[in-house]
Amino acid sequence: MKNTQELLNILTLEDIGDNNYNGISKDIGSPSVFGGQVLAQSLNAAYRTVSEKRTLHSLHSYFLEAGDLDLPITYNVQIIRDGGSFSTRRVTAFQKDKTIFILACSFHKKEKGYEHQMPIKKDIKQPEELFSWTDMLNQFGDFLPKKLKYFLSIERPIDFKPVQVVNPMDAKDLPPVVDVWFKIKGDVVNLTLAQKQQILTYISDYNILTACLNPNASVANFGNTQMASLDHSMWFYRDFDFSDWLLFSIESPSAFGARGFACGNIYTREGVLVASVAQEGLMRAIKK
């Protein structure tokens, strides 16, 4: 995938009737279906059954089985409730007869209310000062571990610019913090709020578990650790656009028992809080 339109083509499902939808998968450099893709496709299915006057405000999900890249995914939407202000949906994703993912999500009509938000970090480096993943590949590709080099070489519809650049050849423990600027490629002018939320959900599964790995980076890395998303939750606050860079600011309060937990906030460059994310992931040392 090279741009926003190609990403939307993957996220937009085929309606096969009775609140069932089919989707295909795209390889992003991992052996199984990318969790962000399943999340975003599930939202696409849920949005098809909800009034246009209601927008997503929260989702909660579990990854049950690794998805097969070669098989289509069928998403079944259950209409749980349509109340006076909120609509609730449950989405179950299948491959053949196997359930691989479940999602519960809630939609809210537009209302006015009290407001506050946590501020963006002060004095954080701006994207113009930073290397993108592509820049890192071009500059340091010959020195990178083979697995990391391959991952960075995959063409994506998103540019990522990490604020904290880690030298993979200098193994040392790091703070449980990751800040990453990101921007999508291609035309973003006519995106609906539903499409923007689906794209943001897709992106939110990138980078987040890195914060869990950092405090043990002297001995643990993506090459010797089995990592996978176990659950994923998001809360959406305000409308936004993708015309400029957004910041995903992540921290990991804890890792224990082969699981790591991370949470983060997504901001516009101006410091408007758009969404919050929480995820627990598998962090299992690979035994040689």
User: Which CATH number is 139's domain given?
Assistant: 2.40.160.210
Hey, is 120 helix, strand or coil? coil
Instruction: Single out the catalytic residue among 205, 249, 252, 276.
Output: 205
Reported as a pLDDT band with limits 50, 70 and 90, residue 150 is confident
Nearest-angstrom CA–CA distance, 19 and 48: 8
Reported as a pLDDT band with limits 50, 70 and 90, residue 85 is very high
* Residue 119 within a domain: no
Amino acid letter for position 63: F
Closest CA to 79 of 103, 50, 42: 50
Nearest-angstrom CA–CA distance, 233 and 280: 9
* Range 143-157 burial, b when 16+ CB lie within 10 A, else e: ebeeebbebbeeebb
Q: Is 229 a catalytic residue?
A: yes
pLDDT at 67: 96
What is the number of domains present in the chain?
1
Reported as a pLDDT band with limits 50, 70 and 90, residue 170 is confident
Tell me what the pLDDT averaged over the chain comes to: 94
Q: What percent of the chain has pLDDT over 90?
A: 82
* Residue 116 within a domain: no
pLDDT at 30: 85
Inform me whether the pLDDT recorded for 141 exceeds 80: no
* Residue 254 within a domain: yes
Exposed, middle or buried: residue 117 (CB in 10 Å: 0-12, 13-18, 19+)? middle
Nearest-angstrom CA–CA distance, 201 and 221: 25
Q: Is 279 a catalytic residue?
A: yes
Domain region containing 153: 4-111+124-285
Average pLDDT over residues 195-209: 97
Average pLDDT over residues 150-170: 87
Q: Is 187 a catalytic residue?
A: no
Average pLDDT over residues 155-169: 88
Contacts 24+ apart (CB under 8 A), 27-30: 27/69, 27/154, 28/154, 28/156, 29/150, 29/151, 29/153, 29/154
* Residue 135 within a domain: yes
Average pLDDT over residues 109-129: 96
* Residue 118 within a domain: no
Instruction: Single out the catalytic residue among 61, 87, 95, 229.
Output: 229
Average pLDDT over residues 140-161: 83
Closest CA to 178 of 164, 160, 158, 167: 164
Would you say 277 and 150 are in contact if contact means Cβ atoms under 8 Å apart?
Answer: no
* Residue 117 within a domain: no
